[in-house]
Structure 1
Amino acid sequence: MSASTVRALVVTGPGRAEVQEVPAPVAVPGEVVVDVERVGVCGTDVEFFTGEMAYLHQGHAAYPMRLGHEWAGTVSAVGGGVDPSWVGRRVTGDTMLGDRTCRRCRRGHQHVCAQRQEVGIRGGRPGALAEQLAVPARSLHPLPGAVDAVLGALVEPGGNALRAAQAAAVGPGDRALVLGPGAIGLLTAMFLRAGGADVHLMGRTEESLAFARDLGFAHTCTEDTLPDLPFDAVVDASNAAHLPALALDLVEPAGRVVYIGLAGSPSRIDTRTLVLEDVTAVGVLSASPGLADTIAAYASGAVDPRPLVAATVGLDQVGAVLAGERVEGAGPGPKIHVDPTRI
């Protein structure tokens, strides 16, 4: 790497990714440059690698792409109009960057702005799978000392999970069921447990359920072994097209169903059940409104997602991870992290 370039992972087409030297980001007015310390790989990144991600077919994204939206790092430069005290601070940032002028943005909903960029996802905004990243200063969230780089790169998925747990609106004396013990499902279960709910998890494989039990979730099952219990809330964190309907069938009347998982094909629910059983259904898209509270939960120790990270690799190994290869020596967790400085 020279002073004018950085190493970055570039997805050049379906099933093709390589580490390239790309121009180093510049701190333009209103933005900062971050030295990236840790990045999480998630299912969205995999969908871009395989070519299945809907944004590719809707015109919101195009190859070549620079992925990475779950990140932590240290600010190394600031552009014009940015408080210079950001330099040297450890941060993470909001993935969703609204246009700041539309009705949705003015109402505080920049995460659903029709013209939004998404870091490493949408609108050509390069992601964090690189040695450096440029982002607007307004998107930054400072990380306290108790939140290290591992936790910092888990803030974005944690924000999604926190919002799902909040939407479930359960607490002590309530029972919640989470469908799908992947990273988001397990994080949601952790936040539900921190709020006092009795948490059950449904998965497909014994390996994933055994890992959930290792995290302290004693109540696990498969679809075939679901207990005959009333669930005050059901969170669908899966990618199975039939589970949104099952979630609605399983929730107690006057309960809540939260949809945070996305299937590759359309899902269907019977709205007659929704109405006749007075069920509240909530969809969760983004971590944006939950980032600050997630950082606080990690800092206090109320939620500790570190065990979810199975392995940490360098940029040169990311292509294999996106292709579904298991990292040698990886633990049982569902999340792979990347250290862009590792060779």
Structure 2
Amino acid sequence: MSAPVAGPGEVVVDVERCGVCGTDAEFFSGEMAYLHTGEAAYPIRIGHEWAGVVAAVGSDVDGSWLGRRVTGDTMLGCGRCERCLDGRQHLCADRHEIGIRHGWPGALATQLPVPVRALHELPVDAELGALVEPGANAVRAVRAAALSAGRRLLVLGPGTIGLLCALFAAADGVEVHLLGVSPESLEFARSLGFPAWTAAELPALRFDAVIDASNAAALPERAVSLVEPGGRVVFIGIAGEPSRLDTRSLVLKDVTAVGVLSGSGGLAGAIERYASGAVDPRPLVAATVGLDEVADVLAGHRRPEWGAAPKIHVDPRR
């Protein structure tokens, strides 16, 4: 792909840091659903968790953006439809998604074109900036759980999003537990101060809300079975195959179920929590590599010395 040029309403960002996400790995393996629905096609430049410095602006863009460290919304709506005009551009039927949908190039590169309307200025460094997008997903999930301080939350899946949900909820004074499978991920969650359990170990506690941040098809049903009657279940993980959930379980327990797509609407909240120090996601980053190591990372290869932290960052300047 050729070097990007800032068109009308756009900037070009020099990428400082980009996170590798499960969605990126699915593009690498060919499993990503959009490849099979026609919403994405090869070749595609992936990467949507990013931070960088504005290097060029379009002719109609305020020049004061130059030199500012930024991140941005992954979801780029058309700006004209009812959903966009109603502030729901992440649900626009014609949206582009950076590094994911309809060919908009991603941030696993030295430069990235972005509409200026999607930008958020960063008062934090590039490492934290590249954690804003996944953090924004967690912000929205925790908001959807709607718990006050002292309530108890169960998070299914101690991966990046699940751990970020735990961190943001704990910052609100919520008691957080995590449910997982692998000993390594559970021990890492415990190292952050959270009780973490296998299904066999999970104590019989009242869970006022459950967030499913896993990719296991059986866990949506499990989430509903574990939540307190009248509680809330938030679905942010996406399984590779359909999940079965008897809606009678929702009705008979008077459960509110919420789906969360993307960090749109949560970016400013994540930035504020990082900048204030209320949430510190840095321990989730196992390593930072160069672009020459991306293929190995996408294929699931990890160096033993990286440990069990779930997130790998890429510095394309290396």
TM-score by length of 2: 0.99
- 2:11 matched to 1:32? yes
Q: Show CA shifts across 1:251-270 (max 9, x none).
A: 00010000000100000111
Q: Show CA shifts across 1:173-213 (max 9, x none).
A: 21100000000000000011011111000010111111111
Q: Secondary structure at the match of 1:23?
A: coil
Q: Which residue of 1 aligns with 2:305?
A: 329
Q: Secondary structure at the match of 2:15?
A: strand
- 2:189 matched to 1:212? yes
Segments of 5+ residues of structure 1 without an aligned counterpart are 1-21
Q: Which residues of 2 match residues 147-186 of structure 1 at below 5 A?
A: 147-186=124-163
What's the Cα RMSD here? Answer: 0.8
Q: Which residues of 2 match residues 38-77 of structure 1 at below 5 A?
A: 38-77=17-56
- 2:258 matched to 1:282? yes
- 2:218 matched to 1:242? yes
CA distance in 1, matches of 2:249, 2:70: 44
1:225 CA displacement: 1.2
Q: Show CA shifts across 1:221-249 (max 9, x none).
A: 10111110110000000000000000000
CA distance in 2, matches of 1:168, 1:87: 38
CA distance in 2, matches of 1:334, 1:220: 15
- What code does the residue aligned with 2:169 have? L
Q: Which residues of 2 match residues 310-329 of structure 1 at below 5 A?
A: 310-327=286-303, 329=305
CA distance in 2, matches of 1:36, 1:328: 27
User: CA contact under 8 A between 1:171 and 1:192: conserved in structure 2?
Assistant: no
Q: Secondary structure at the match of 1:201?
A: strand
- What code does the residue aligned with 1:121 have? I
- What code does the residue aligned with 2:312 have? I
- What code does the residue aligned with 1:101 have? R
- What code does the residue aligned with 1:283 have? G
Say if 1:274 and 1:321 are closer, same or farther in 2 by CA, change over 3 A: same
1:169 CA displacement: 0.7
Identity of aligned residues (%): 70
1:332 CA displacement: 2.2
Q: Which residue of 1 aligns with 2:114?
A: 135
Q: Secondary structure at the match of 1:27?
A: coil
- 2:76 matched to 1:97? yes
Q: Show CA shifts across 1:266-296 (max 9, x none).
A: 0011111111111000000110100011100
- What code does the residue aligned with 1:281 have? A
- What code does the residue aligned with 1:190 have? L
Q: Secondary structure at the match of 2:55?
A: strand
Q: Which residue of 2 aligns with 1:109?
A: 88
Q: Which residue of 2 aligns with 1:78?
A: 57
Q: Show CA shifts across 1:123-176 (max 9, x none).
A: 1100000001111011100001xx110000000000000100111111222110
Q: Which residue of 1 aligns with 2:104?
A: 125
- What code does the residue aligned with 1:66 have? R
1:201 to 178, 194, 198: 178
CA distance in 2, matches of 1:265, 1:49: 18
1:328 CA displacement: 5.4
Q: Which residue of 2 aligns with 1:15?
A: none
Q: Show CA shifts across 1:98-121 (max 9, x none).
A: 001111111110001000000000
Q: Show CA shifts across 1:44-103 (max 9, x none).
A: 001111111110011100001100000000001100110000000000011000001111
CA distance in 2, matches of 1:316, 1:170: 43
CA distance in 2, matches of 1:258, 1:224: 22
Q: Secondary structure at the match of 2:5?
A: coil
CA distance in 2, matches of 1:130, 1:202: 35
CA distance in 2, matches of 1:70, 1:189: 19
- What code does the residue aligned with 2:144 have? A
